[in-house]
A and B are shown apart, each in its own frame.
Chain A
Amino acid sequence: MPNLEFGKYAGYIVPAYAISALVIGGLVADTLLRARHWKSEAARREALADKKKTRS
Chain B
Amino acid sequence: MFRHSLADAAARAVAPLGAAFTFLGLITGSFWGRPMWGAWWVWDARLTSFLVLFLFYVGYMALQAAIDDEAKAARAAGILALVGAVNLPIVHYSVVWWNSLHQGETLFTSGGPKASVVYLWPLALMSFSYFAAFGALWMVRVRGEIWRRRAGALAVQGAR
Binding site for B on A (CB under 8 A): 9, 12-13, 15-16, 19-20, 23-24, 26-28, 30-32, 34-35, 37-39, 41-42, 45-46, 48-49, 52
Contact = CB atoms under 8 A, between A and B. Distances in A.
A21 B144 CA distance: 23
Contacts of B24: 19-20, 23-24
Interface of B: 16-17, 20, 23-24, 27-28, 31-32, 34-35, 133, 137, 140-141, 143-145, 147-148, 150-151, 154-155, 157-158
Contacts of B151: 38, 41-42, 45
A13 B28 CA distance: 8
B70 to A, nearest CB: 15
B16 A27 contact: yes
